[in-house]
A = this chain, B = another copy of it.
Amino acid sequence: MASAELTSLDEVISNSLKGKELEEFNRIHYGRIDQCALFISSVAAQKAASNGFEIKAYDFPARKEECRKPRIVRLGLIQHSIAISTDNPITQQRLAIFEKVQKIISAAAAEQVNILCLQEAWNMPFAFCTREKQPWCDFAEPVLTGPSTVFLAELAVKYDMVIISPILERDDIHGDTIWNTAVVINEFGKVIGKHRKNHIPRVGDFNESTYYFEGNTGHPVFETKYGKVAINICYGRHHPLNWLMFGINGAEIVFNPSATVSGLSEHLWAVEARNAAIANSYYTCAINRVGTESFPNEFTSGDGKPAHKDFGHFYGSSYVTAPDGSRTPGLSRIKDGLLIAQVDLNLCRQIKDKWGFTMTQRLDLYAQSLNEAIKHDYVPQVVHK
């Protein structure tokens, strides 16, 4: 099945069009005729080649300003499959992923990435399709002391990087509860904070409400050495209000670490994170895992079909969108990869000045409208014929 998967729709189209038609495709689809691809150093390229992952880099320059210096930051997005089969012991599965991801992070370091984000629940298979609590809950880790934080903190220091680590969290202070959480580790290896997934899916094989509740950490923006970042985890990308609040709190870059499969969402993938970048005048980074994950025991998908053991195809296709709505091509649909975007954060305010979406958004009107709408006796504004 996986072998029949297309590597990249972007590549297919780019290879099929020529001249003026390719130019128009680039202009209309990506929002710029020149992709602004960046050179990859031979060190990083060799790491990629010898470890079987893809590496791509693109530039998003901004206009030079008189009163502010450019604020150039290099973002890194990592997408990957699991490393060994899901019937191995938890600790072995995790270590095998660490080993794989470490190589990609070292390539990111060779490319001077400043802020790196991993995919949702990056250190485990996306086992929530099974509805089995064991052994999968044992992947959950405390934010401050868990093995993934320890592993990444060391790399953050080594490479002077801010690393965002989306994990399954075990909160042992509050009843051993489980959460879907992004941990933000700064360049000193310190956990500066966490964000818990605000919107939890109940769709298809995404039985996540069996495992954890809606997040209770609001919409924090993390002011790092390199810029103001936020994390909208996976299913939160379907919720424009979630994106909005990160913008209101000042985010310049919002990462969307995800896990989503081709039968369900692939036609939405290019739309939602990109729309959020446009609507909120910030950069968005959409990250999806790759590969097909099989589980030891069969499960059903609530669709009347027979029980089965795999989750369908995680289609990768990670991409970055700038505040002006231009975007990179996606990474591969089937292969591990590192996507680097060199961005000038000054573009956020430049686009606010140009398009005026924050000036014209009438938040007071909507605060009032929502106050009414949430009442149990709300009467919708309907005009009858």
Residues of chain A whose beta carbon lies under 8 Å from any beta carbon of chain B:
6, 9, 12-13, 16-17, 20-21, 24-25, 27-32, 184, 186, 190, 192-193, 198-203, 214, 218-225, 228, 235, 238-241, 243-245, 248-250, 266-268, 270-272, 274-275, 278-279, 325-326, 354-357, 359-367, 369-371, 373-374, 380-385
Contacts and interface: CB of A to CB of B under 8 A. Distances in A.
B239 A381 contact: no
A245 B370 CA distance: 8
A238 B279 contact: yes
The 10 closest A-B pairs by CB, nearest first: A31-B267, A240-B240, A275-B275, A367-B370, A193-B383, A249-B380, A16-B16, A241-B366, A268-B325, A222-B383
A241 B361 contact: yes
B223 A383 contact: yes
Given A221-B380, A380-B250, A382-B223, A360 B271 contact: no
10 contacts: A9-B29, A28-B266, A184-B383, A193-B383, A203-B354, A219-B369, A240-B279, A267-B326, A268-B325, A271-B275
A370 to B, nearest CB: 4
Given A24-B12, A238-B279, A223 B366 contact: no
Number of copies: 2
Contacts of A245: 366, 369, 373
A47 to B, nearest CB: 29
B382 A220 contact: yes
Nearest to A200: B360
A16 B17 CA distance: 7
Nearest to A186: B385
A169 to B, nearest CB: 16
Contacts of A249: 380-382
Contacts of A223: 382-385
A267 B380 contact: no
Contact of A238 (B17, B222, B355, B370): B355
Contact of A192 (B239, B369, B385): B385
A323 to B, nearest CB: 12
Contacts of A239: 279, 357, 360-362
Nearest to A20: B6
Contacts of A357: 238-239
Nearest to A372: B367
A238 B232 CA distance: 20
Contacts of A374: 363-364, 367
A12 B25 contact: yes
A132 to B, nearest CB: 22
Nearest to A279: B240
Contacts of A267: 27-32, 325-326
A371 B367 contact: yes
Nearest to A241: B366
A355 B24 contact: no
Contacts of A28: 9, 266-267, 270
A241 B238 contact: no
Contacts of A380: 221, 248-250
A239 B275 CA distance: 10
A32 B267 CA distance: 8
Given A235-B360, A244-B240, A373 B383 contact: no
